Structure 1
Amino acid sequence: MSALALITGASSGIGRAYATRLAAAGHDLVIVARREHRLRDLAASLSPQVDVQIVVADLATDDGIDDVAAVCAERPLTMLINNAGIGHYMPITELSVEQARELLYVKVVAPALLTRAAAIGMKSRGDGTVVNVAGMLAFSGPADASKPGRALYAGTLALAVASSQTLSVELEGDGLRFQVVCPGIVATEFHTVQGMDLSAFPRMSADDVVSASLRGLELGEVVCAPGLEDAGLLTTVFEAQLAAFAGQSPDLASRYRES
Structure 2
Amino acid sequence: MSDLALVTGATSGIGKAFAERLAADGYGLVVVGRRRERLAEFAAARPAVDVRPVVADLSTDEGIDTVARICATEPLPLLVNNAGVAHYMPLADLPADKARELVAVKVLAPTLITRAAVAGMQRRGRGAVINVAGMIAFSGPAPHSQMPRRALYAGTLAHLVAMSQTLSAELEGTGVRVEVVCPGVVATEFHQRQGLDLSAVPRMSADDVVTAALRGLELGEVVCAPGVEDAGLLDAVFRADLAAFAAQSPELATRYRTG
1:194 aligned partner: 194
Cα displacement (A) at 1:2: 3.1
Cα displacement (A) at 1:172: 1.8
The whole-number CA distance in structure 1 between the counterparts of 2:163 and 2:135 is 15
TM-score by length of 1: 0.98
The whole-number CA distance in structure 1 between the counterparts of 2:241 and 2:45 is 44
Cα displacement (A) at 1:174: 1.6
SS at match of 2:91: coil
Answer with 141-150 or 97-106: which moved more: 141-150
* Structure 1 residues 51-73: Cα deviation after superposition (integer angstroms, max 9, x where no partner): 11110000000100011111111
Cα displacement (A) at 1:128: 0.7
The whole-number CA distance in structure 1 between the counterparts of 2:258 and 2:150 is 36
Matches within 5 A, 1:1-259: 2-46=2-46, 48-146=47-145, 147-259=147-259
Cα displacement (A) at 1:120: 1.0
Aligned length: 258
The whole-number CA distance in structure 2 between the counterparts of 1:85 and 1:170 is 25
Give the aligned residue type for 2:127.
Answer: G
Cα displacement (A) at 1:45: 2.4
SS at match of 1:196: coil
Cα displacement (A) at 1:3: 1.4
Give the aligned residue type for 2:32.
Answer: V
Q: Tell whether the 8 Å contact from 1:26 to 1:49 is kept in structure 2 after alignment.
A: no
Cα displacement (A) at 1:175: 1.3
> Tell me, which stretches of 5 or more residues in structure 1 are unaligned?
none
The whole-number CA distance in structure 2 between the counterparts of 1:85 and 1:178 is 19
Q: Tell whether the 8 Å contact from 1:181 to 1:225 is kept in structure 2 after alignment.
A: yes
Cα displacement (A) at 1:44: 2.1
- In percent, how many aligned pairs have the same letter? 68
The whole-number CA distance in structure 2 between the counterparts of 1:180 and 1:3 is 21
SS at match of 2:184: coil
Give the aligned residue type for 2:21.
Answer: R
Answer with 141-150 or 3-12: which moved more: 141-150
TM-score by length of 2: 0.98
Q: Tell whether the 8 Å contact from 1:39 to 1:54 is kept in structure 2 after alignment.
A: yes
> Tell me, which stretches of 5 or more residues in structure 2 are unaligned?
none
Cα displacement (A) at 1:149: 3.0
The whole-number CA distance in structure 1 between the counterparts of 2:234 and 2:202 is 22
* Structure 1 residues 162-193: Cα deviation after superposition (integer angstroms, max 9, x where no partner): 11000001012221100000000000000000
The whole-number CA distance in structure 1 between the counterparts of 2:108 and 2:175 is 24
Give the aligned residue type for 1:240.
Answer: A
The whole-number CA distance in structure 2 between the counterparts of 1:172 and 1:49 is 36
The whole-number CA distance in structure 1 between the counterparts of 2:188 and 2:258 is 54
The whole-number CA distance in structure 2 between the counterparts of 1:92 and 1:111 is 22
The whole-number CA distance in structure 2 between the counterparts of 1:211 and 1:44 is 25
4+ residue segments displaced more than 3 Å: none
The whole-number CA distance in structure 2 between the counterparts of 1:250 and 1:173 is 33
